[in-house]
Chain A
Amino acid sequence: MRIDNEMKLEFMSKSQNESFARSVVAAFIAQLDPTIDELADVKTAVSEAVTNAIIHGYECQNGSIIIISRILDKTVEIEIKDCGKGIEDIELARQPLYTSKPELERSGMGFTVMETFMDEVEVESQSGVGTTVRMKKTFKSI
């Protein structure tokens, strides 16, 4: 399918960039004229993926997070990539309530939130190499 628009964002894995990242993606997809709910869904999913990269991928150490977002007709694709430690067991990580860091009072609902709010969520990860989360959502508005 033809790509109508594309953007790439790279930033340091600092927690203060979580709101920056979700706001940038929200501003980019605003051109599709999503509803307030659709926009909130995407912002929440992006926030979850970026938070995972910071806490789990880089374990709060400095690293780089790349977001690539594409618009194809009424669909937005968002790729969130880190070069952190990777996820050993993706299936386990995606289970609701599972957290590898219970001591941090994490809810373990990050992937469940992404899966609920987006139409598709794909996770690619390799130990010691990094993780890429690819999400898609088609807007029903207009």
Chain B
Amino acid sequence: MNVGFDLVNNKLIIRIDGDIDHHTCEEIRSKIDNEIMKRNPKSIIFDMKNVNFMDSSGIGVIIGRYKLIMTSGGIAAMVNVKPQIKRVYEICGLKKIIPVYENEKQALESI
């Protein structure tokens, strides 16, 4: 499971590449947490462009990282979200706490 990172204006862009399910979520979680510890970003942006599938295990990972960044006063956002992921995300009520933007540029300008 490849997870790429870019730090832009102290905002950490997290590029997940592949399906997010119970099998992959542990590795994704530890990679993101290591990077957050190392770089201490103000906010995080999940780039979902290369995620074609996510179930509720992925929701657990996203809420967990959201809580982590909240403790230091930051916020989390998501970009490039595909319809299947958007549906899971909406059912689980993430819409209220993690804003979704069309693309990275918009997210970087808004958060």
> A44 and B84: CB pair below 8 A?
yes
Band of interface residues on A: 20 to 34
A136 at interface, CB cutoff 8 A: no
A107 is an interface residue with CB less than 8 A from chain B? yes
A-B contacts counted at CB < 8 A amount to 70
Number of residues on chain B facing chain A (CB within 8 A): 20
Per-residue contact bits, chain B 72-90, to A (CB 8 Å; 1 contact, 0 not): 0000000000011001100
* Contact yes or no, B84 A109, CB < 8 A: no
Chain B min CB distance to A19 (Å): 6
The interface bits of chain B over 17-41 (1 if a CB of A lies within 8 angstroms of the residue's CB, else 0) are: 0010111000001000000000000
The 3 A-B pairs with the shortest beta carbon distances in the complex, nearest first, are A15-B23, A40-B84, A107-B59
Q: Is the CB of A51 within 8 A of B19?
A: no
Give B contacts to A, CB under 8 Å.
19, 21-23, 29, 53, 55-57, 59-61, 63-64, 83-84, 87-88, 91-92
Q: Which residues of chain A come closer than 8 Å to B63, judged between CB atoms?
A: 105, 107
